[in-house]
Amino acid sequence: MGRKRKPQKRIFSDDGWLYYCSMCQGYKPEEEFHKDKNRPFGVYYICKEHRLQQYQEKNPPMGDMDHIKLVFVSDDDHRQKDLLLSKLGYDINGEIHKQFLQRVEEKYGKTL
């Protein structure tokens, strides 16, 4: 059958329907919830603000990423990697990462 869910809560006020956010533990208007046709009232059970917060906690920004990693498995893949990098103007005998960072700095005037 599927997982049992707690019933979603809503109340009717002078301004229309208000839906319960399980993270705020309060009621908010429908506009503050994402639509979800699989839910009983057609809205997600967490408000937009808390859903964004929940997403950001699970997926931290990658602004501090300072490298690119190419992963290849077979010898043929290594040959394809070398061919691709040489077509892009990289010296395949040198350190690709340093060459990449140098290109970024030359093009944008700043480092990653």
Taking residue 18's Cβ as centre, other Cβ atoms within 10 Å add up to: 17
Residue 96's pLDDT is 86
Let me know how long the chain is: 112
> Residues 44-94: pLDDT tens digits?
889 999 999 988 888 776 655 555 566 656 777 778 888 888 888 899 888
Predicted TM-score of the model (pTM): 0.49
Residue closest to 25 by CA, chosen among 40, 44, 45: 45
CB 20 within 8 A of CB 26: yes
